[in-house]
Amino acid sequence: MAYLLGIDIGTSATKTLICDGKGKVIATAMADHPIYSPKPGWSEQEPEDWWKSTCDATKAVLKKAKVKATDVGGIGLSGQMHGSVFLDKNGKSLRRALLWNDQRTAEQCADIEAKAGGREALIGMVANPALTGFTAPKILWLRDKEPKVYDKVKRILLPKDYIRLRMTGEYATEVSDASGMLLLDVRNRTWSDKLLSLLEIDKAMLGKLYESQEITGTLHEEGAKALGLKPGIPVVGGAGDQAAGAVGNGIVNAGIVSATLGTSGVVFAHAEQPTLDPKGRVHTMCHAVPGKWCIFGCMLSAGGSFQWLRNTLGSSEIALAKKKGVDPYELLVDEAATAPAGCEGLFFLPYLTGERCPHPDPTARGGWIGITARTTRAMLIRSLLEGVTFGMRDALEIMRQMNVAVTQVRASGGGARSAFWRQLQADIYKSPIVLTNAAEGPAYGVALLAGVGTGAFKSVEEACKASIKQTLKVSPNKKSVAKYDLSFRTYDKLYPDLKERFGEMAALAE
């Protein structure tokens, strides 16, 4: 039986996973890579760092799994979406890649909407509005601000597709990740010639399009040597991290929604048809399931807000956790659990890096509102967890307005590992929270896609049905649901009330 390798190029690290041909996970490994912020709101990485971490993590997972290089029969690729890798005629990176959470392109977003004939017209072309995180505004930013570099650009790839290039020599992508470039006709699963023409971007710069399970090339000699693998292994299209994570969590049928709390927070629903939000508050993109679509909302600083709190205010927990050999996040959650639900009217706005869904605003700011003399440290921590979860509910509410069925929410990421946060999600979402045996995320999803592409499974749906099982269900607490419903109504008004002030605050930081 051939083994399947999944590779996920994340924001902070590359994760690798090996499973057998039936979807059983054998081992995982991870290798970190740095992130750079040369100016406030800017977020960049070196593509070469991704390649190094991919090589390191691949060799590590082979060793950990005790799997021979000759036993790997297929490779799937996933990665952070929207990142722009600018390459010269020789396939060499011309500058650091601009990432999904980079906020420098507000001017270019306005320019794109103007050239498209307005936001509604743009959504009609590519299913989504122009957001600072997307790839197309980054391309225009480079053309506007670094024209000498832009003049040398021959190819533009997404993070995982740069790794594909290093592995196979192929300039290729697939529809789920390409949907987030703002250059794809999502309805028809092809590049939007109309928008490319309006923006004067040469389609030849973009990769060849595939469906997620299709084989895009095979591992060449140089790539195989660097990774510790054999040449000739098929590499499938894979998926952007959100669609890949959805496959890895079994979100391939209507009614099942995922809530993933990582650095960002994503609520993701399967869709049989390309249903659009005319206001562009959530995204409609191609799913990693052939001929299917997805609807999802992404808040930029979900787990990122909790990480900020740990790093900034959690020094005592970090020190104590080191002595006890535990995770400092567990200690912070334990303290949060001692505070009352709703924290006596204390709210946390999780807009530490601007916001994307449902408020596409790079100037949005985070903070606590409602501090009184009675406010405790435990309340500060709990209100942060509540605020992040309210931000996730924002996306759920929009989906419900769009008549997207929500019968079950499958939790993953950091918020799924904590019993306290699982219950908090069930109460705030007003929905049962379910865990599955598949907790490995995007790397697992693309390993399954590699299984489909190489014939281990007949379809993506079959792969998920065979591999993913429910392990735990958490029901909402009726009393807490009622309390959080009231709190959410107030939370939902805070951003509109403060929007103009956020702009003024951002101007003061310049």
Binding-site sequence positions: 81-82
Which residues participate in the annotated binding site for substrate? 81-82
State the residue for tokens 């270019």: 108
Distance CA 37, CA 396 (A): 31
**Phi/psi-derived region of residue 19, left when phi > 0, alpha when psi is between -120 and 50, beta in every other case:** beta
- Cβ pair 122, 129 in contact under 8 A: yes
Distance CA 340, CA 348 (A): 15
Helix (H, G, I), strand (E, B) or coil at 221: helix
- Cβ pair 387, 349 in contact under 8 A: yes
Q: Tell me whether strands 239-240 and 72-79 are parallel, antiparallel or unpaired.
A: parallel
The per-residue b/e assignment along 271-300, b for 16 or more CB within 10 angstroms, e otherwise, is: beebbbbeebbbbbbbbbbeebbbbbbbbb
Contacts with 182 (C-beta within 8 Å, 6 or more apart), sequence order: 112, 126, 128, 130, 131, 134, 135, 136, 137, 195
The per-residue b/e assignment along 377-416, b for 16 or more CB within 10 angstroms, e otherwise, is: ebbbbbbbbbbbbbbbbbbbbbbeebebebebbbbbbbbb
Nearest CA to 492 out of 255, 281, 262 is that of 281
Contacts with 484 (C-beta within 8 Å, 6 or more apart), sequence order: 341, 342, 386, 427, 428
State the residue for tokens 């600083």: 301
Spot the catalytic one: 241, 361, 394, 427: 241
Per-position DSSP letters for 373-418, written without gaps between them:
TT--HHHHHHHHHHHHHHHHHHHHHHHHHTT--EEEEEEEEHHHH-
Distance CA 510, CA 507 (A): 5
497 is catalytic: no
Distance CA 222, CA 230 (A): 10
* Cα dihedral across residues 85, 87, 90, 92: positive or negative: negative
Helix (H, G, I), strand (E, B) or coil at 459: coil
Q: Write out the two tokens for 377.
A: 């440290």
- Cβ pair 44, 99 in contact under 8 A: yes
Q: Which residues are catalytic?
A: 241
